[in-house]
Structure 1
Amino acid sequence: MNRSLSDPQTHDLTSRICVSPPYFALDGLHSPAPGTAVARFPVEMPTGRQAVPLGVAETGRHLAILGLCAAAGLVDGLGRRYYLAREAWATFAPPCEWPAKMREAEGEARAEFLTPRRAVADTHVVGTGRIDLATMRVRYDVLTERVFRRFFSPPGHRTPSPPHNPYRSPLPLRTVFCAPDSMTAELDVVPELCAGHFEGAPMLPVAFAAQALTALWDLLLDDLPETRERRWAPRSVSLSADDMARAGERATLTVSMDLDGEEVRCVGEIKVGEKVISRAAAEGVLV
């Protein structure tokens, strides 16, 4: 069923959540039952050296949004909630089960509240024959709009609209240090990179931060003679976010990679100043 943002059920869900276009890109969003959500989404973020057409960062972006939409359907009463993704664990099917190319994908989510301020969602990307191409479990901290504004947003502040969709382009990283198995880069977080996340309090989306980490992992592959012509297929990814980089801050990203034959393990962290705000780890195989 084709549903637009003006559809009553879709509007009811989107009016309860904290993200908006262009970061929000779900199409046909609907809830077959309370605590569930189904939607299609475009494949638009660069995948780099990943050997699957839907990369780690974009999987995280859309499934995390779909999961919070499922959670929003369980909330009684009016008012917006802010769902801050704090942890995520994802698995990916091997490349042979993915189509060669994807212009869009379909996702499903089921959510529950553990406490009034904490929710989890189990989500997946559905392929041909109902095969799970990727699964992800997300844990959220849930804040009312009043509480969120108290901590994160000055009154009357608005986020400027970017001239283009930032989620279709690589992040403007500056490499500041490179070693054989590690790399450090910096990113100046500007409001345009945070479009749709969140209105009045622009913060770099966790999924966009994950894209930055995978981009650095790709650069490490480029620097190693034995992997320069190879790609990598993710099998599992974990990510934690104690905080998010706000517009006006400079984020420092550090990554490292271990190779064991065809097996690859990548880890990374993001700092603002001396504070580590996010960590990620991925395991995969070279192809």
Structure 2
Amino acid sequence: METLYEDLYFLKERISEPELKAKLESLEDKIHKLRTKTGLKLLVKKKKISKALREVEYEEELKRLQIELIKMQNWIYENKKRLMIIFEGRDAAGKGGAIKRFTEHLNPRKYRVVALPKPSEVEAGQFYFQRYFKHLPNPGEIVFFDRSWYNRAIVEPAFGFCTQEQYEKFIKEVPEIEHALIDDGIIMIKFWFSISKETQKRRFEERMKNPLKQWKLSSVDIKAQKLWDKITFYKEEMFSKTHTTYSPWIIVNSNNKKLARLESIRYVLSQIPYDGKEKSRTSLHPDPDIVQRYHRRSIQIDA
């Protein structure tokens, strides 16, 4: 690699054509990345230069975006703003992994991750939204919901965990409730992480084989493939009834987990007017092929 690097540098100094010179400079940059500690470790582990290079570039871009997230969090805290980000999607869509990258370097005193278990007997008899309201963001705080009250829009009716009356009541009430929360000053972002049926099946199989990931599988997950079409029906109903101008659904193509993480972070950053945003060392415009606002005519990979 050292010899190749020196040869490229030697050639670069003697080539006058701008396009060819740019290509050589690009190659030089890639070789420099592979010669870093991270790059060399990945080369040893993965043995393929292309994969190692993609991983290094992903880690570098993730770090740049996480720096912006810290700036955003400071702005939220200093201005006493309230930000809630809802992560919904099919099982194994990568919601938890995305939340982990969002929060990896944030100040733990200024954010919370909410992943509520099955409601208790007492909670089951309460106003449906009551147990979620306890976890709404306080002034200066960010709250990440790993699934939310939208359990009643898809999971509960698809698996028979609620009555038709409860489902219809929820669908009718949720737009009004979200409007009230936003009107009160809460900044709300709703993500739907979308994967294909084939990708979900492959990820389930990987979890079954990996003892460190088997805990992620539940009886609901196992039935998810069989109920794919039923879940699709309720998903589309949810979008049509709860996608509003003030609280839109943002669809994230998460067949590629790494791209989904980067672009969902980029989307959140694009929505918040935090200080120092103009000095970002990376683009804050999400890729429209990965992240897009829901539209009934849009093509979805988990349709």
The TM-score bracket by the shorter chain reads under 0.3
Greater Rg over alpha carbons, structure:
2
User: Which structure shows the bigger proportion of residues in helix conformation?
Assistant: 2
Larger relative contact order, structure 1 or 2 (CA cutoff 8 Å, min sep 6): 2
User: Which structure shows the bigger proportion of residues in strand conformation?
Assistant: 1
